[in-house]
Amino acid sequence: MPPVPTIAVVDDDQAIREAMDDLVKSCGYECQVFASAEEFLAFEPRSIIDCMLVDVKMPGLSGIELQAELNKHSQRPPMIFVTSYKDERTRSAAMNAGAFAFLGKPVDIEKLIGCLESALGH
């Protein structure tokens, strides 16, 4: 039996982290939650992460800056941005840097699950 995929949730909002954790687990996946990009970068082994759900605006490093840092490494899981700040310039920057998807909050749950499943099969 293949290992259960592990999804990382990186968001400074505790309520969002808890909701995403519940959603990810209800889909049958493992979940690791992080309150900041820095907390995620300190996590080892990051190689267990199969996909990421990331907020754009957070104290410290933003989601876009986290993406740039991870892009320096050859092994990077697909990133799905989930954000209240869905301006076109930020969306374009994220997508051009390799984001799998860029979704606005409040997120459509079915769309998020579809993106997650597609990213894991990608």
Q: How far apart are CA 122 and CA 105, in angstroms?
A: 24
For the residues of 30-84, what is the DSSP string, one character each?
Answer: EEEEESSHHHHHH-S-GGG--EEEE-S--SSS-HHHHHHHHTTSS----EEEEES
Give the mean pLDDT of 83-105. 93
When pLDDT is cut at 50, 70 and 90, the band that residue 1 belongs to is low
Query: Nearest to residue 11, comparing CAs of 53, 50, 49?
Result: 53
Q: Does the residue 57 lie in any domain?
A: yes
Q: Does the residue 42 lie in any domain?
A: yes
pLDDT digits (tens, 9 = 90+) for 8-59: 999 999 999 999 999 999 999 999 999 999 999 999 999 999 999 999 999 9
Amino acid at 110: E
Q: What is the pTM of this model?
A: 0.95
Q: Does the residue 1 lie in any domain?
A: no
Write down how long the chain is. Answer: 122
pLDDT of residue 75 exceeding 90, the answer is no
Overall number of domains in the chain: 1
CATH of the domain at 62: 3.40.50.2300
> What mean pLDDT value characterizes the chain?
94
